Structure 1
Amino acid sequence: MLQWIRSYAFLIAMYGGMAVIGLGLFPWALTSEHAARRVAKIWCRWTLWCASWMVGLKTEVRGEIPTGEVLIASKHQSFLDIIIIFDAVPAAKFIMKRELLFTPVVGQYATRIGCVPVDRGKKGAAIAGMLRAAKASNEAHPGQLIIYPQGTRVAPDVKAPYKVGASLLHGYLKQTCIPAATNVGHFWPRLGVYRKPGLAVVEFLPPIGPEVTKAEFLSHLEEVVETASDRLLKEARDAAR
């Protein structure tokens, strides 16, 4: 019961912080992309700090943190992996569903830092639009472009296919891809309020070069990300015993 109370209090602190920080510093965010990014990072660090003492959820980033103009293809289990990655890398921007642009605070900041909205209902047309928008974003907002190759949040132990969009983006942009694994879904579920204490990890894995073919890319990406994510999940479960 106490952990439930802590979890509710944490959500209030997290979303309350989003409103206070995001709206209170919005005039500064309007001055430049750098300022908008700094405000977003302030909120990320506020959230990670609150999680650490309010619900006992610590976070850790492993592997070499990407700093250049690269594509990051990450396992996506909950909102927490978004927060950890954004806080870790210097200039993150996301491939995101278009509806999020209309979310208060989130949408305004996503636009300012160069996130790429995708209309998921249009399939082929959506992919073509994503490729063009990603290239334009890279030119206007250099940094680390993050895609979730399964297209949505996937809970631990649930299998979901890796979609072709990540492979097409890798081939089109001709950038190095950094795979990323995580176990955050064990502590912070896709849905629900309850947060478990423990150590949530995002791990950056060895790069996949731009010379890797489309045929090889997706299967290799899935293998390394799923293997590493399963290892991190086992680590989290073993620590809880």
Structure 2
Amino acid sequence: MIRNLLFSLFFFSGIIIISIIFIPAFFLPQKITLFGGKIMGYWTSFCLRVFLSTKIIIKGRENIIKDKKFFIASSHQSMFETFFLQTIFNSPVFILKKELLLLPIFGWHLKKIGSISIKRNKISKENLSFFNDISKQINLSDRPLIIFPQGTRLLPKDRTPFKKGSSRIYEELKISCQPIAINSGNTWPKKGLKKINTILTISILKAIEPGLQKEIFLKKLESVIYSELDFLN
């Protein structure tokens, strides 16, 4: 309990402090704010290692796609991946709930780094331009897009089918997909106390190349990520 309290105190205090320190970056080039995001990622891993004695392992670095555009599709079990993946990849472009952009300071940073917002489970004028916004961002940047095809944080053993939106993105962008399986929920669950002395693994899987039918892509993506999670558990 004490280690959980210390983790929460230092982690959230650090995120707030970093956000405040980088307020001047609102008026500076975007790369300054992106650097702040990487610091948050390293701070996250530091707090896990120090306060929860978490061992963080990165598997499959050799599978990272290089020299061409791609998007990342990652499992989602905790807040960990939203911060830490920025340290592995080139400052990914996030797709996130519109409400997050309304948060004071932190939400402003999310907007500054070019995050793409969507209103969940709603058809609106704002959502109609969603795929156009993604295409523009990818075409104008060398940063990869990151999506969480499960749609929300899930428990480690939850095998909810992936959302169809990820296959639509694959079909629209016509670029490679980098699947990632992360068992972060075994350390940092969506609800309840965080676990001590665990192994948190980020498994970077082989790319799924463009050209598949979107239904086949979705089944393959779900299969490779859930199979890896079963192995990690």
TM normalised by structure 1 equals: 0.89
| Residue equivalent to 1:53 | 50
| Residue equivalent to 2:162 | 162
Please report how far the alpha carbon of residue 102 of structure 1 lies from its aligned counterpart in structure 2 after TM superposition. 1.2
Q: Counterparts of 1:221-232 in structure 2 under 5 Å?
A: 221-232=221-232
CA RMSD of aligned residues (A): 1.8
Q: Distance in 2 between matches of 1:107 and 1:60?
A: 30
| Residue equivalent to 2:138 | 138
Q: Counterparts of 1:30-179 in structure 2 under 5 Å?
A: 30-64=27-61, 65-67=64-66, 68-123=68-123, 128-179=128-179
Change (3 A) 1:151 1:75: same
Structure 1: gaps spanning 5 or more residues:
234-241
> What secondary structure sits across from 2:107 in the alignment?
helix
> What secondary structure sits across from 1:122 in the alignment?
coil
Change (3 A) 1:166 1:125: farther
Deviations 1:91-141 (A, max 9, x none): 212111111111233312211222111111314867643211211222344
Identity %: 29
Q: Distance in 2 between matches of 1:199 and 1:70?
A: 28
Q: Distance in 2 between matches of 1:184 and 1:166?
A: 21
Deviations 1:55-78 (A, max 9, x none): 111222221334552111111001
Contact 2:41 2:85 in 1 (8 A): no
Q: Distance in 2 between matches of 1:110 and 1:80?
A: 16
Deviations 1:40-87 (A, max 9, x none): 111221221121011111222221334552111111001012222122
| Residue equivalent to 1:238 | none
> What secondary structure sits across from 1:155 in the alignment?
coil
> How many residue pairs get matched?
230
Contact 2:37 2:83 in 1 (8 A): no
TM normalised by structure 2 equals: 0.92
| Residue equivalent to 1:23 | 20
Please report how far the alpha carbon of residue 222 of structure 1 lies from its aligned counterpart in structure 2 after TM superposition. 0.5
Structure 2: gaps spanning 5 or more residues:
none
